Structures are given as structure tokens and as C-alpha cells.
Amino acid sequence: MVAGACILGCAGPRLSRDEARFLGRADPWGFILFARNLIDPAQIRRLTADLRDAVGRDAPVLIDQEGGRVARLRPPQWRDWLPPLEQMAQSGGSTRALYLRAALIAAELRALGIDTNCAPVADIAGPDTHPFLRNRCHGTDAESVTTAARAVADGLLAGGVLPVVKHLPGHGRAEADSHHHLPRVSADIETLRQTDFVPFRALADLPLGMTAHVVFDALDPHNPATTSPEILAMIRAWIGFEGLLMTDDISMQALAGRVGARAGAALAAGCDLVLHCNGDAREAAEVAERVGPMSAGAIARAERALALRPEMAPALDCAALEAEFTGIMGGIMGGIWAGPMAEPDAADILARRADEALIIDVDGFEGPLDLLLTLSRTQKVDLRKISVLQLAEQYLGFVERVRALRIELAADYLVMAAWLAYLKSRLLLPPDPTEDGPSAEDLATHLAFQLQRLEAMRAAAAQLMARDRLGRDFFARGLPQDVTRVRRFEYGATLLDLMQAYARLRTRDEFRPYAFDRHDVYTLEQALERMRGQLGAGGADIGWADLASYLPADWLDDPARRRSATAATFAATLELAKRGQIDIRQGDTFAPIQIRARSEPT
């Protein structure tokens, strides 16, 4: 059976039954994990095994573990690293350090059942590179980025992990974050070929690659690289990339339209696989349905890539690699976290705090510096007898001893010593009547309050550090079983019901009662009242008369008002004729209508 042309994620740290059934039907080529899926090593190993069991084969499991800001595995259970650009600066551009770092990352990944890492980043950092990407790059020029990215790829392969070079054909010039907006690069094609495209051309032999959601005006001003046939053809032809080409996350907001349409456009343009990361079940189903099985060319490229993945993780001497890395980084860990460390108990913390206290011995006082400040506030110690010179000498000796341990401790005591010297000067010097500042007594009170706050914070920190720790003193329970909710919708409405409901919704906000202006409208009641008055006042003696003679004189000048009066008078005439009160006649077609009153109603 041919695998589906997609890489999918899952919603949480445990694969639900519904997810397993869906993945079995969709049969994606691989899977990708994020922080939402990762708790501890045992859980991750179970999850990667369950994902592979769902499709019945040793499917690749991917992760973004670049080190630095983009790292799904974090301390205390896994090593932490400097961002790549910062490590390159700190190590003097050492590619060996990058190789060792990548090999150590690969060893951690293979131990969890993860065999593919979305690294290295081969984009070039420039002055306008968006902050989401800049310190993830390995350099600011094509040559340094090429050698650094090659070292990362080699280190991952040495640890049995497949590298995914990104973001083809280059994301470094983008000034927008493609997670939220569509970046556009306006550089001309020759500039791009001499800079941004160079690292990818040198790394074209790597087994896997990832596209950039970036528009390049010089190549295709209408489509980002992920959905551009022109750019993807250039990646294959000019850059020469022959590996398996996947999209960046298809759900990122740089792309427009539904995820299914995006996925179809990416495959039609020339991508081999569509990467969907957010774990949304509906989106994943839409992507899987749209992409279908992998093409023959994609299958061949996938087989070449998987051939580089060893069945068993290589046996690496991680202690030796870590020691060499530390040596290159100048004798310090250089941003590496060596793993979980034992925490001291409460007694150790209190003893350490006692060792860190500044004990002074000056004329008139012997004891901790903060106690001296407290006693001076309550006037139990005369500050005028305290030698500031002796205090300064003892403080400098104390700083020399503790600065290698905690420089912030020396800073705390420096503040206290400075306040003490200032307080003594305020006591010795006569007060300045023109000065509006606080008095010496106010300063002493304020300093005592700050010292109390500091002591409270230290006590709270000691209590927190002495508490039991998850993974050391107690351990998490197993994950609870999922509760599956199944919702079914049944509709019993007829087509007429739906049309009526739609009409109500459409007209709910549009209905307005109509109120017309009665000023220019002559009503039937007015016409009846007028004609009865005229016919009753000698109307029988008048004989036949035109209908127009019964119109009110003040309604004849305005055409609209005349039409209204004529219509109402004619309607009144018909009503009176119906009642037998008048006779109506018309000599010819369109001739004037004439009426007369009847002497006796019939």
C-alpha cells in the first residue's frame, strides 16, 4: 500500500482510539511531534511506538529540535542549548562544536524513537531578518552558513537521525513571520543566486528538505515558494535538490484558503509531501483526503532518504562528545544543560545562606551587616563610632570570596554597605534646612523595611527549594484513559421549513414598518364627506356634472395632490353609486365621467 503524501501530528501526549483509526486509514508517510505531545522519555517512546503501530510500518517520526529557541525537548530531562547564531559567536565559528551538538541531539532523539529532525536551518541572517528566525540561523554569509549547516547535518546523520534542510530556497531576507503573515522578497534573481540560494545548492545532496512560505518577486510574484511551480522547478533544476521535499506547516497563516486547498496547490506545484502540524483532526482529515497517495517520484525519493536511517541507533560516547564540546566552548558548558541535578535539602540551603552572610568586625560592633542596620535603626548601636574605612575593607574581602559563587549576593551587600555609609554621613553632618530629602531616621526606617522584604524572599525561596520535586521525590501517575465523545446530528426539517427559516433570518433585521406622508394623500373618507355635503345641499337640482367639479379647489394646483384627490373622489363616487345615492355616466371612451344625485334612492 502506498503511503499518503502527508506528515501529520496528533493532539496530545497519548494517541486516542479515534486518532489511531484515522491514521490507519490516512496512512501518512510520517508523523511530527510538538511540546504538547512530550512529557517524559517513557511516554514519548510509547507514543512513537503507537504512531507506527497505527500505520503498521516503521514510519518516520519528525521533530523540531534545532536547539535554542526552537526546541521541543527541554530541561531538566534533556539538554538545553544556545541559539545557533549565539553559539557560533561564542565558539568563534566552530563547526566542530555544531557537529558535536547535533550528534548529542541525535542521541537523545533516537533514544525516544524519533528519527528525523527538522534541521539544519540554512537561511542567511541579515539585518532585516525577522526576529522569529534570525538567531536560529548559523551565520550572516553564505560560506559560514553552508559549512555550519553541513556540520549539523553530518552530526545528526552520525547519531542515526535524518536531517531536514530548511527553508528552501531561503527565508533570510523575509521581514515578516510566516507563521502569521506572508513575507515577500523583492531582491533580483542574480542577488539571490549569489547569496540566499548558495547554501541550499551546496546542501542539495541532503535527503530531506522543507519549503519556505515566502514570495519571491523575481521568480513568481503571485505565489509563495510552497505553491509556486516556477520556484519549485528552480529548486529542482538550478539548486539541484534531489531529496524528498515537504512543505513547511501547511496550517501557517502565510497561506490563504482552506488547508485542503493549500495542500492540493502544494502538491500540484511540485512538493512531495504536505506537513500538517497543529493536530486538529478535521484539518488533518481534509489534508489527507486532498493529497491522496504519494507519487512515484516521491516514493523513490523517500526510499533513498530512509535508506540513510540505520535500524539501530549508533553507539555514541556522549560523555566524550560533551567533554569535547565543553572544551571548544572555552571550558564552560556554553549553554548546554547536563541533565537533572540533585537539589539540596532545607538544611543545606540554610547552611549555605549562613555561609554567605557578611559578618563584620569593626570598632563598636561585631556581627552580620543586616543586623547592624537593624540595631542602628533602633539606636542600640551608635553609627558615629563605626569606621566606614574598616567596613569598606571587610566588604571588599567578602566580595572577593563570594563573587565566584553568586555575583548578585555581592551586589546585595554592596547596596547595604552604601546605605550604611550614607546613613552615617547624614547623622554626622548637620542637617541642611534647604534640603527637601528624607531625614536620616526616615532613610534608616526605609532600609530596614527593604531588608525585611529581602529576608522574606530568601526564606520563601528556601522553602520552595526544599519542597519535593516531581521526578525526584515523587512521580507522576499514568495518563488517564481518554473519554471519547461521539456527536451525531440529525435534521428533520423539510425544504419548506429551511426556506422559511432562511427567510426569517434574512428579513429579521431588514423589516421596517412603512409610514407614509399623509399630507399629499386625499383619503376616501375625505372624498365621501365632501360629496355628501355637495349632493345634500341642492345636489338634486344641479343635474349631471363632471366628476372634476367635485374636486377640492386647494388640491388642483399640485399634480400629485390632484391625482390623489381625483382617485379618492372617483372611489367615493363608486361607493355612493353602489349605495344608490347617485347615477354615473360616460358618453364615450375616455370621455369625462358625469354624476348626478338621485331624488329617490332605488
- Which ranges in 91-221 belong to alpha helices (H)? 95-110, 131-134, 142-158, 189-194, 197-202
Query: Quick check: helix, strand or coil at residue 100?
Result: helix
- Locate 270 and state its grid cell: 511540485
Please confirm, yes or no, whether 248 is among the known catalytic residues.
yes
Residue 585 — φ and ψ, nearest 5°?
-150, 160
Q: How far apart are CA 349 and CA 466, in angstroms?
A: 8
Residues 288, 28 contacting (CB under 8 angstroms): yes
Q: HSE on the CB side for 238, CA within 13 Å?
A: 18
Q: From 192, 196, 190, 269, select the one nearest 233 (Cα to Cα).
A: 269
Options 179, 280, 412, 583, the catalytic residue? 179
Residues 138, 149 contacting (CB under 8 angstroms): yes
Q: How far apart are CA 416 and CA 451, in angstroms?
A: 9
Query: Quick check: helix, strand or coil at residue 152?
Result: helix
Q: Are strands 215-216 and 162-168 parallel, antiparallel or unpaired?
A: unpaired
| Cβ atoms within 10 Å of 399's Cβ, excluding its own | 17
The DSSP call for residue 550 is: G
Longest CA span, the chain: 140
Residues 7, 275 contacting (CB under 8 angstroms): yes
Q: From 394, 301, 405, 395, select the one nearest 353 (Cα to Cα).
A: 405
Options 248, 249, 272, 370, the catalytic residue? 248
Instruction: Give, for 535, the enclosing helix (H) or strand (E).
Output: helix 524-536
- Locate 228 and state its grid cell: 509556486
Q: Catalytic residue numbers?
A: 179, 248
